[in-house]
Amino acid sequence: MKLLISQITETPKELDFAETPDELNRLFSGENKDFSFPDPLRVHLVHYRSGADLFFHGRVETVVEGHCSRCLKSYSFPLEKEFDFVLAPDSTAAKNKELNADELGLSFYRGEEISLEPLIREQALLALPTRPLCDEECHGLCPRCGADLNEAECRCGDSHADPRMAVFRDMKLHQ
């Protein structure tokens, strides 16, 4: 979605639109395949201006497919994030060089229109968990036999199943 800056007025306006998740899917197509985005990002946005500063408040929603980092299974979860951001004209950036734009929660615009896709994409990224887990308690896969420990205990953790442990069992018996 692109917004003409001249259409942003002091009277708040509401807007509902969808962004394709293509760029997000590209981000997670290389080394990091933690998440994929099967659905569009649905966005509800309120925008208005105060002087040359543009204010945005809204919500982004979609469904994300995570790929559990422990058991490697895919699972779906809803992503929902509220956001606020302010865009100031780029000339202010030059004047306020000493101020850290990030700390102020400010970004900058230039030109006639604003492309909302990168801003929405960043909000979606911020809402993702640091690593995908199908469940906080996911037991993962056994590093030895690869069994899914959520479904059944494998016998690798059972010392009786490993003949190399026999020597320790014998030692205990003689103590």
Q: Which residues bind Zn ion (CB under 5 A)?
A: 68, 70-71, 134, 138, 142, 144-145, 147, 154, 156
Among residues 57, 67, 76, 75, which one has the least CA distance to residue 123? Answer: 57
Residue 76: both structure tokens together: 């779906």
**Cβ distance to Zn ion smaller for residue 72 or 166:** 72
- Report the C-alpha gap between 78 and 28 in whole angstroms: 18
In the complex, what is the shortest distance from the CB of residue 33 to Zn ion, in angstroms, rounded to a whole number?
15
CB atoms within 10 A of CB 46: 14
In the complex, what is the shortest distance from the CB of residue 74 to Zn ion, in angstroms, rounded to a whole number?
10
In the complex, what is the shortest distance from the CB of residue 34 to Zn ion, in angstroms, rounded to a whole number?
12
Amino acid at 152: A
**Cβ distance to Zn ion smaller for residue 58 or 132:** 132
In the complex, what is the shortest distance from the CB of residue 165 to Zn ion, in angstroms, rounded to a whole number?
14
**Cβ distance to Zn ion smaller for residue 84 or 158:** 158
Residue 102: both structure tokens together: 């990030």
**Cβ distance to Zn ion smaller for residue 18 or 142:** 142
Residue holding tokens 């699972």?
75
Residue holding tokens 């925008």?
47
In the complex, what is the shortest distance from the CB of residue 67 to Zn ion, in angstroms, rounded to a whole number?
9
**Cβ distance to Zn ion smaller for residue 46 or 147:** 147
Among residues 1, 22, 4, 24, which one has the least CA distance to residue 109? Answer: 4
* Type and span of the H or E element at 125: helix 117-127
